[in-house]
Amino acid sequence: MDNTIVCKGIYNVGVRDFEIRDFHGYSTYQGTTYNAFLIVDEKIVLMDTVKKPFTEKLLNNIKKFVDPKKIDMVISNHTEMDHTGALPHIMHYIGEEKPILCSKAGKKNLEAHFGKGKFNLQTVSSGEEISTGTKTLSFLETRMLHWPDSMFTYAKEDKILFSSDAFGQHYSGPAAFDDQISEEEMLNHAKKYYANILLPFSGLVKKLIKDVEDMKLEINTICPDHGVMFRKDPLKIINAYKEWCEQKPSKKAVVIYDSMWESTRKMADEIVDAIASKNIPVVSMNTRKCHRSDIITEVCDCGAVLFGSPTLNNNIFPALSDILTYMKGLKPKNKIGAAFGSYGWSGEAVGILNSYIEEMGYELADPGLKVQYVPDESDFEKCRELGLKIAEKLENL
């Protein structure tokens, strides 16, 4: 069956971006999709558009079903430009007088992006409904998930939730639906997406899921704006979000480090081996070999995070600053932390890392381990002790 058909009268006219590898700092090693949906009923509705360079492709995709000029209205669930980049051209093509339905914050944000008075913006609020003829669409504002303007649209009769960025994955592999991809692969992409985009809003995710459950919305299909759509088992992704938003620490450690002359790396290796010796899963991530978006995906559900940095110019290594800045913004919670590193003469790195750990609200599991120049066997013993201490704390979670 054609993968663009969501159900009778609802089509995914979005595009696949096979080439993108960096989505504003997020490594998208399998590209992404910008899903957009066409509802062909008595009224014809386009829901969201795509990133600007794909405008012609979107128009061609729409033309497979209808003449785009016949579109009666556009729904903008989210202003970010991967979903509105094509909007000005689409509106010019279909007629700028046609309404664009959006949230109140959506109106403000669309005006900020494209200018006041350019479009016929009509605001909708949670619970409001419109009819397209045989289909009813209702709206649910999802403020700060992940922008102030974000909202969901629900197709009542077809029981389809159009969830904008929520439940998305940056993935443009062969699958279009959840029954065409392994659960493990889908969840890996979805978890990375959650960790890098929605993590700081976990409290709101929890509340939203509860609100949706309280509303007793029947959901047969979830159509996010990125990646695969969920028609086989929409509960799978909802339950995954329920778990991720709790940010429960698992018995897993992540060791994030960089090294100048291998000393800090050797310390990291000893710590990792000591943790692993207690059958505690541990991931070792060199900041110049692992992408920040993959590091945060591992950090998101771990119980302990250790940072290792040599002292460079009285400071931590620049690549450590990158991941720490990123992590501080994404606010992963409920962890213990510790720092280690080699130094030559001044040795500030461990103290600076400790400050980061405390600023992120983590329990400092150890005062930190500093080694001058090159670790010897007694230093390795201290590394092993640190690793065992972390393992013990995780065992007792």
The nearest distance, CB 23 to ligand FEO, in angstroms, is 9
CA-to-CA distance for 2 and 32, rounded, in angstroms? 19
Q: How many residues bind ligand FEO (CB under 6 A)?
A: 9
Kindly tell me which residue out of 16, 57, 83, 265 binds ligand FEO, with binding defined by CB under 6 A: 83
Q: How many CB atoms lie within 10 A of CB 290?
A: 18
In this complex, which beta carbon is closest to ligand FEO, that of residue 34 or of residue 317? Answer: 34
Residue spans of alpha helices (H) in 115-182 = none
Q: Catalytic: 356?
A: no
Q: Catalytic: 11?
A: no
Q: Catalytic: 149?
A: no
- In which residue are the tokens 């929890």 written? 206
Beta strands in 98-247 (DSSP E): 99-102, 120-123, 129-131, 136-141, 151-155, 160-164, 221-224
Residue at 123: amino acid letter: T
Q: For residue 285, what is the enclosing H or E element? A: strand 282-286
Q: Residues 11, 17, 34, 82: which is the catalytic one?
A: 82
The contact mask relative to ligand FEO for 126-165 (x = CB under 6 A, - = no) is: --------------------xx-----------------x
Q: Residues 78, 83, 170, 189: which is the catalytic one?
A: 78
Kindly tell me which residue out of 17, 48, 82, 149 binds ligand FEO, with binding defined by CB under 6 A: 82
Kindly tell me which residue out of 141, 149, 178, 225 binds ligand FEO, with binding defined by CB under 6 A: 225
Q: Catalytic: 189?
A: no
Q: Residues 193, 194, 257, 362: which is the catalytic one?
A: 193
In this complex, which beta carbon is closest to ligand FEO, that of residue 75 or of residue 282? Answer: 75
Q: Residues 17, 26, 34, 80: which is the catalytic one?
A: 80
DSSP state at residue 315: B
* Residue 50 CA neighbour count, 13 Å, CB half: 24
In this complex, which beta carbon is closest to ligand FEO, that of residue 147 or of residue 177? Answer: 147
Produce one character per residue of 330-367: b if its CB has 16 or more CB atoms within 10 Å, e if not. bebbbbbbbbbbbbeeebbbbebbbebbeebebeebbe
Considering only the C-alpha atoms of the chain, give the largest distance between any 2 of them, rounded to a whole number of Å. Answer: 78
Q: Catalytic: 113?
A: no
| Residues noted as catalytic | 24, 78, 80, 82, 146, 165, 193, 226
Contact set with ligand FEO (CB under 6 A): 78, 80, 82-83, 146-147, 165, 225-226
